[in-house]
Amino acid sequence: MKKRKNSPLIIARPEHGISRKLMSPNALRILYRLKDKGFIGYLVGGCVRDLLLGREPKDFDVVTNATPHEIKRMFRNCRLVGRRFRLAHLHYQDEIIEVSTFRSQAADEPEPVPKEAHEAEPRKPRMLKDDDGMILRDNVYGTPAEDAQRRDFTVNALAYNIVDFSIIDYTGGLADLSAGIIRTIGDPVVRFQEDPVRMLRAVRFAALLAFTIEENTRTALVAAADTIVRATPPRLYDEILKLFLSGEGSRCYELLRQTGLFAALFPAFSSWLDAESEGFPHTRFGEMLNHVDSRIQQGCKVSPPLLLALLFGEYIHEKAERFRRLGTPWQQSINAAVAEFMGETCPIVMIMNRVGLALRDIISQQMRLKKIPGRRPESFIARPDFNDIIEYNRITCGNKKDISKQLDWWEAQAQQQEQEPHKLPNKTRTPQRKRKKRRRRRNADAENRTGNP
């Protein structure tokens, strides 16, 4: 362990337990190629953190001093993405490795204005912020030390050096990792202004790792919770999925409620949760999160439409009941309720249209399950969301005897249909008409030679 004044803490290979056997072979190939080409290459971020904690990393990120275009010239499987910060995605058969360039700590200084028009020089890349301090573009490249200072939390700023297999710590991340603390790098007020999504990341890491959010970081987070809506709605949707599909969704939900983030993200739904329906509190949201966590921890997958149906289904059904009291038929009431829910949610958390349609279908097929066998049961079983429909009804109302029997019947039919050989239907096809051959037209010279007028 080496530490000099104003220098990073370096943990030599004998002093840490990270082995290359635990790393992605593709990530190692990238690091070695960067090294062979004369560039610096580190593993960085969550993969180093998880390896030190004895967890299996979800993905591997690489950082280098090579620019995105230099990376693209080195790797044929490279795709450049991103406007806010240019990244290189290296596509392999079973994974995508993200490679970024060291970022700078350059301040948001105004562009220098040349005195004369003919003295103008090419514009250099600059960090671009809005009036509230949120980073809009950040394609300013720097050194490894500057890049570490630009990351969100200390535990995510650790780097693995492929040259000597050491761990490099510029921000005190190893100490926070040992203490179980989530701490922002730098002033948390400024860091949350730069990127409000960091507040959701702090919650997710604290829940996932069973860590505590450092006091100053938590205070700044609570104070800035309302500003989460400044992030783009599609990005917030992705972060919500990461939170509730992490396997620790219940803990994430608790932290979101405690910090005020949940009310900012889902204001109408949060107000409904705080109220009571017919004298009973709304406890199903928490129960559904516990069920989702249990499934994910068992290695099962939960699709986004099923997740949304489980979490918001009771809320949508109550809306639909209100429409039915006004005389709206069953299906139309569900359609209207889902449309109203999407209208409330999408301005802040953008649920994709196809996910909203799948959510509506999962909730509305309860009536179809009652029709045994009904018309064309094999087509209903062949639906891509059939398993989600069965799962949703099994979880939400499977304790009712009649519904349980219906679900058992459908599952038995689905199992039988899988065991039978799939036969294509014999469709009578209209025979294709033979195309007539066009007679070649003889030219005038040939006609003259044969004596024809």
CA 187 to chain centre: 27
Contact between residue 46 and residue 55 where contact means Cβ atoms under 8 Å apart: no
CB-based contacts of 163, cutoff 8 Å, min separation 6: 35
Report the C-alpha gap between 319 and 277 in whole angstroms.
Answer: 12
Q: Dig out the tokens for 209 from the structure.
A: 């790792």
Catalytic residue among 152, 176, 195, 361: 152
Token pair in block for residue 160:
């693995």
CA 25 – CA 396 distance, rounded (Å): 43
How large is the angle between the packed helices 233-244 and 249-259, nearest 10 degrees?
Answer: 130
DSSP letters, 395-412, are HHHTTSHHHHHHHHHHHH
Say how many Å lie between the first and final Cα of the chain, rounded. 105
Residue 226 annotated among the catalytic residues of the structure: no
Name the 3-class secondary structure at 103.
strand
| 130 is known as an active-site residue | no
C-alpha–C-alpha distance, residues 157 and 122, integer Å: 33
Do β-strands 9-11 and 166-169 pair in parallel, antiparallel, or remain unpaired? antiparallel
For 216-344, where are the E strands, in sequence order? 276-277, 280-281
DSSP string, 421-432: PP-----PPPPP
List 50, 61, 169, 176, catalytic entry: 61
Strand 212-213 vs strand 61-64: parallel, antiparallel, or unpaired?
Answer: unpaired
Residue type, 79: R
SS3 at position 89: strand
Q: What angle do CA 259, 227, 200 make, to 5 degrees?
A: 50
What residues pair up with 182 in beta bridges, in sequence order? 213
Q: Is 59 one of the catalytic residues?
A: yes
State the catalytic residues: 59, 61, 152
